[in-house]
Amino acid sequence: MELWLKEKEMIDLSEKFRGYQVVCRKGHCWLTREGDSRDLIMSAGEESLINSHSIIATALSDVQLTLVCESNI
């Protein structure tokens, strides 16, 4: 699944995406994970596993994200 966010746009990657890999294809994205005080800034080429109930992704610039089901990796 491809997601395109404009700068400052946010999306809640709810529990239905738990176990998916988030891949940053373009731009920069800030990930805030529920229950984890360590935020993550992703740049193009980086990826992270969605392993909490909720992750909020905030675009720090126009960003393209790909969500990949772990079983398809």
pLDDT tens-digit readout, 10-69: 999 877 888 899 999 999 999 998 887 888 999 999 999 888 778 899 999 999 999 998
Which residues, other chains included, contact 5 with Cβ-Cβ below 8 Å and sequence gap of 6+? Answer: 11, 29, 57, 59, 62, 63, 65
Q: Would you state the pLDDT for residue 52? A: 73
Q: Maximum distance among all alpha carbons in the chain?
A: 31
- pLDDT tier, 72 (very low <50, low <70, confident <90, very high otherwise): low
CATH code assigned at 16: 2.60.120.10
- pLDDT tier, 71 (very low <50, low <70, confident <90, very high otherwise): low
Q: How many folded domains does the chain comprise?
A: 1
Q: Would you state the pLDDT for residue 54? A: 81
Q: How far is CA 18 from CA 4, 26, 34, 35, 62, in A?
A: 19, 22, 12, 14, 24
Instruction: Give the range of the structural domain holding residue 35, as residue numbers without chain letter.
Output: 2-72
How far apart are alpha carbons 65 and 27 in whole angstroms?
9
